[in-house]
Amino acid sequence: MSGKRRLGRGLGALIPEALPENEKESDIKEIDIHRIKPNPYQPRTNFDENKLRELAESIEQHGIVQAIVVAPEKDQFILVAGERRYRAARMVGLKTIPAIVREFSKSAMLEIALIENLQREDLNPIEEAEAYRKLMEEFNMTQDELARRVGKSRSAIANTVRLLSLPQAVKEALARGDILPGQARPLLALPDQETQSKMAQQIIAKGLTAREVEKMVSRAGKERERRTPSRQEIMPKEPQLAEVIEQLQRHLGTKVRLVKGKQGGTLEISYYSEEDLERLITLLLPDNIT
């Protein structure tokens, strides 16, 4: 069985505006396929041609088993769900296609396309991250709201969206499947994109596991600290502050530095892997913050 967690609810349960689980035959209409426009909110940009051809052969033999979903727009229709069926139907030259016509908001069109692809596990990690970000930015959703809508945990949403801050070359490698999200996330702890890109090249060349990447990132962090002036050189000499820093380090189990500026200063807390960051967040955030 695949290690990926499948969504446990259908579109109708996740999005009230979506289809009921068993649509009535009277709801289905045959629509001129040339009057249908692609969903402008479709998060998926890459479609496997071989799988499309397989679906096209099935359609040619058995017809369209499940109707697509469209929204009316003047004398045309916008495709909401069923992009693979729509593309395969065009490949075999169908003139009409069975469809259910419904009114949808823009946010629902994006959500339905997103969830349909998530259920099929068709999106690459960057397409998924872009879709989450679009939902949050364009429709003012919080991570908590989005997590409830798509049936995932808030941390899963946050970890996926964070991949968008990686260098373009690393994001392209993620989209191609050369690197997996678990291998890429530790790179976010590195100080700059050039270092992230170089380490990503090593991951691909050496076939490193996620655990091996975390260890490499941890060693790189410790090496940077070794080259940084010691805490005694940049810490204030007040005994009370030094004692507080020592207590923080014991409590958090990691290096803590206090750097004074002309006005105020910064409190630096080091972490060395994705798991280490999650541990620190748990320690630092009160239980009642979600």
**Is 290 part of a structural domain of the chain?**
no
Pair of tokens at residue 247: 């207590």
* CATH number for the domain that contains residue 178: 1.10.10.2830
pLDDT at 110 over 60: yes
Of 7, 22, 41, the closest CA to residue 149 belongs to 7
Residues 130 and 213 in one domain: yes
pLDDT at 204 over 80: yes
Residues 216 and 239 in one domain: no
pLDDT digits (tens, 9 = 90+) for 63-109: 887 888 888 888 899 888 888 888 889 988 999 999 988 888 777 77
pLDDT at 100: 87
Residues 184 and 265 in one domain: no
Range name among 6-15, 89-98, 170-179 with the lowest pLDDT average: 6-15
Residues 266 and 247 in one domain: yes
Pair of tokens at residue 101: 């016509």
Last residue of a domain, one of 79, 109, 139: 109
pLDDT at 155: 85
Range name among 20-29, 46-55, 141-150 with the lowest pLDDT average: 20-29
Percentage of the chain exceeding pLDDT 70: 79
For every residue of the chain, which 3-state class applies, written as one string? CCCCCCCCCCHHHHCCCCCCCCCCHHHEEEEEHHHEECCCCCCCCCCCHHHHHHHHHHHHHHCCCCCEEEEEECCEEEEEECHHHHHHHHHCCCCEEEEEECCCCHHHHHHHHHHHHHHHCCCCHHHHHHHHHHHHHHCCCCHHHHHHHHCCCHHHHHHHHHHHHCCHHHHHHHHHCCCCHHHHHHHHHCCCHHHHHHHHHHHHHHCCCHHHHHHHHHHHHHHHHHHCCCHHHHCCCCHHHHHHHHHHHHHHCCCEEEEECCCCEEEEECCCCHHHHHHHHHHHCCCCCC
Q: Which one of the listed residues 25, 49, 73, 83 is annotated catalytic? A: 83
Q: Which residue has the higher pLDDT, 224 or 131?
A: 131
**Is 6 part of a structural domain of the chain?**
no
10 within 8 A of 21, measured Cβ to Cβ: yes
Residues 124 and 212 in one domain: yes
pLDDT at 2: 36
Residues 104 and 144 in one domain: no
Range name among 43-47, 78-82, 167-171, 284-288 with the lowest pLDDT average: 284-288
| Whether the predicted model's global pTM rises above the 0.85 cut | no
Range of the domain at 80: 11-109
Last residue of a domain, one of 109, 128, 162: 109
Number of domains in the chain: 3
**Is 114 part of a structural domain of the chain?**
no
Residues 71 and 94 in one domain: yes
Average pLDDT across the chain, whole number: 77
Residues 75 and 44 in one domain: yes
Last residue of a domain, one of 90, 109, 128: 109
**Is 289 part of a structural domain of the chain?**
no
**Is 70 part of a structural domain of the chain?**
yes
Q: Which residue has the higher pLDDT, 156 or 151?
A: 156
Residues 18 and 102 in one domain: yes
Pair of tokens at residue 106: 């823009």
For the CA atoms of 11, 14, 15, 21, the dihedral, rounded to the nearest 10 degrees, stands at 40
**Is 4 part of a structural domain of the chain?**
no
Residue 99, Cβ neighbours under 10 Å: how many? 26
Residue 130, Cβ neighbours under 10 Å: how many? 20
pLDDT at 10 over 80: no
Is 138 part of the annotated catalytic residue set? no
CA distance 54 to 59: 9
Confidence of residue 18 (pLDDT cuts 50, 70, 90): very low
Residues 215 and 143 in one domain: yes
Report strand pairing: 76-81 vs 256-260. Answer: unpaired
pLDDT digits (tens, 9 = 90+) for 245-280: 877 877 777 778 877 776 777 888 887 666 678 778
pLDDT at 290 over 60: no
Q: What is the CA 125 to chain-centroid distance, rounded?
A: 5
pLDDT at 11: 41
pLDDT at 233 over 70: no
Residues 204 and 252 in one domain: no
